[in-house]
Amino acid sequence: MPLTPEVRDLLALHMVPGLGPRLTAALLERFGSAAAVRQATASELQSVPHIGPKLARDFHAALQTLDVDAEVAQLERFETSVLAMGQPGYPAALAEVASAPPLLYVRGGLLPTDTNAVALVGSRHCTAYGRRVAERLAGDLARAGYTVISGLARGIDGAAHRGALQAGGRTLAVLAGGLSRIYPPEHADLAREVQASGALLTEATMMQQPLPEMFPARNRIISGLSRGVVIIEAAQQSGALITARHALEQGRDVFAVPGPVDSAASAGCLDLIRQGAKLVRGIDDLLEDLGGSVVTTAPTAATPPPGLDDTQRRVWEHLAGGVKHLDELAQQLELNVQQLSGALFALEMKKAVRRVPGGRYERT
């Protein structure tokens, strides 16, 4: 969908180096809109608390020279949506946390059921034990109706995504860098699978390299999207413990999987349990604290809306299998883009289907 002028202005602010969520919120409060911020002089920007003369000059210069059209072109090239805080589609749970990103980049689609999400995170250098536990817990959570969230990193994160996918569930991956390049590169195929059955998300601009300091900030989004965070194998200095701290600050449940007492890979988890994190031995422990499995309505034989022509009925019936991308529908139904777009538009007008982020469609 084309970006509205308001979102384009927010995108411009988001692209300014050094302008994080807190300063963005302060600027919007002071000037009333992103458009007004873009039009402000350096001296006017300096009137905002915590923006001194140098920052004001730097921000003003960046706003005059940054190329929003180039960023929009990258969004289109990689079929990426932009969700603005306060607007429809932005995850409500994330919007409630401190320093929530003003903009969220999404490849794939978010669903209302993703509010029932659990994050599984842990060491990049995991043991076979940690990988096995992560895959099993993720699969069990997916079968219980929960969305599994992780960071697409090597080790525990990758195992968690794979476990959810193998169980036929939904999974979301929150990246530190931009969505034009997947990191780590060996997870490119995994990223495509995650996108097909969930979404890739980030606050980083499209071409942004994943710098080391961006990973701790990324972790607040992982916990912010989740009802609870499960730590699986974390050393005492592990980045996964940063996610646990964010979860505590955000009022989320923190769980930890125990490991051998003499294993450095589980030292952080054992410390968390001593400090009061909830011990997890398996899915039963999680479901007890989360309130059980998520009740989902099984698909039933629905009655098609009246007045559908043959093409519209074929599209509607094909969407019984779940969310489908426009290209996937065209290929499977052997329809050209014009035929398919016309049918989908008619079905949207009849409120029989709806569009979700990432060029995908589902039945209402």
E strands, the chain, where?
Answer: 81-84, 103-108, 117-122, 147-150, 171-174, 198-202, 228-232, 253-257, 278-279, 324-325, 353-356, 360-363
State the average pLDDT for the chain: 90
Q: Please give the pLDDT value at position 350.
A: 74
Q: Please give the pLDDT value at position 1.
A: 58
The CATH number of 1-66, from 1.10.150.20, 1.10.645.10, 3.40.50.460, 3.40.50.12780, is 1.10.150.20
- Domain positions in the chain are 1-66, 107-290, 310-363
pTM higher than the cut 0.95? no
Q: Please give the pLDDT value at position 110.
A: 94
Q: Please give the pLDDT value at position 299.
A: 39
The pLDDT tens digits of the residues spanning 228-245 come to 999 999 888 888 899 999
Kindly list the distances between the CA atom of residue 115 and the CA atoms of 41, 143, 175, 224, in Å, as whole numbers in the listed order.
41, 16, 19, 10
CATH architecture assigned to 107-290: 3-Layer(aba) Sandwich (3.40)
The pLDDT tens digits of the residues spanning 133-182 come to 999 999 999 999 999 999 999 999 999 999 999 999 999 999 999 999 99
